[in-house]
Chain A
């Protein structure tokens, strides 16, 4: 089981089943990306492998951000799939982090190959547990249609399920129509929603991972 409750204090997140994929949804500037990193970093501190699929950050920046959060990060514990299409030659193992470049956020085969290599690297270093974050689905949706993104999420979730990993996928709820969000949601086992709280700060709730949706709660 994966315990995400030290990052997000919800009972529903105490025992997340291996193989679960979770959509992390909220408007812009509500810290979804940071939450996703926190979930991966928290696992890495306890020895879990980590894979970051990024459509906006340079692989090196992801790696150094990760090192700041996890000073004990070991070699071959983090894999980054950089889908910006600007990475050029920064491939392979760089400072103990395995980096894979993909031509664009719309290149699903390339992303799949990158993820496969990252998972293989973690597996070869003996890690049987791991967490993957994809940041963000909103960017992918600007490169390809919702049908393709839905199928991609479903297939990737199945792959993570077979590996006993968990996945966290971010989406900007304000950037898409309601129907698109409803469709994408269906590719996941659970949903974490965040929003700005009325009196300042932000709040969140969890759906799909326990029997009942949780109440909104200050984060």
Chain B
């Protein structure tokens, strides 16, 4: 997240008209940054960027190359590939988090960005959930059940865990679709320890 309250979206797109349109649609809700090609995109990328809209076909560095660079640098951002045609391969296996095929409508763009931000939210909730569960397990492993029954800390922890579990199943509908499922697992593989 950036220092301002709005999430940051980076648009990497070589056609200025198209990039401007996306910006117009998004700037009411997000802080929008623009790059005209892959190299510029990589320069503008830092920890503050939450979502990248990446055109696949660009002169110079291609979208795929930018993506692998992002994954290598282990930046926590989510990447949506923008393509002219619907891809006939599995974009999930390639490491993209979502794809959009042109022409893109405003509503579609908003939905995709919202979904990608929700995935990041899910990841951090899952991390927090784990920390609570680990604390609880440590207490359970070191204290007798009589001690646990009297421990306020343990009671609070148990309540927090139940709440967090519910929160997780509300976010992303608790991983309802395959894209969310794979993307979340890839986050674990990357060893994202935020």
Contacts and interface: CB of A to CB of B under 8 A. Distances in A.
A116 B182 contact: yes
A159 B133 contact: no
Nearest to A149: B188
A152 interface: yes
A187 B129 CA distance: 10
Given A179-B141, A183-B133, A109 B186 contact: yes
B74 to A, nearest CB: 15
Given A147-B130, A151-B126, A162-B176, A112 B169 contact: no
Contacts of A197: none
A183 B188 contact: no
B39 interface: no
B185 to A, nearest CB: 4
A147 B140 CA distance: 17
A159 B182 CA distance: 10
Interface residues of B, number: 31
A178 interface: yes
A75 interface: no
Nearest to A160: B175
Interface in B105-144: 126-127, 129-130, 133-134, 136-138, 140-141
A197 to B, nearest CB: 24
A158 interface: yes
Given A150-B130, A151-B126, A162-B175, A186 B185 contact: no
Q: Across the A-B interface, give the 6 residue pairs with the lowest CB-CB distance, nearest first.
A: A182-B137, A158-B175, A112-B185, A158-B174, A186-B133, A162-B176
20 contacts: A108-B186, A108-B189, A109-B186, A109-B189, A116-B178, A148-B191, A151-B127, A154-B129, A154-B168, A155-B184, A155-B185, A158-B181, A161-B169, A161-B174, A162-B176, A177-B141, A178-B141, A183-B133, A183-B137, A186-B133
Given A116-B182, A182-B141, A187-B133, 12 more contacts: A108-B186, A108-B189, A109-B189, A150-B130, A151-B127, A155-B181, A155-B184, A155-B185, A158-B169, A158-B175, A162-B176, A177-B141
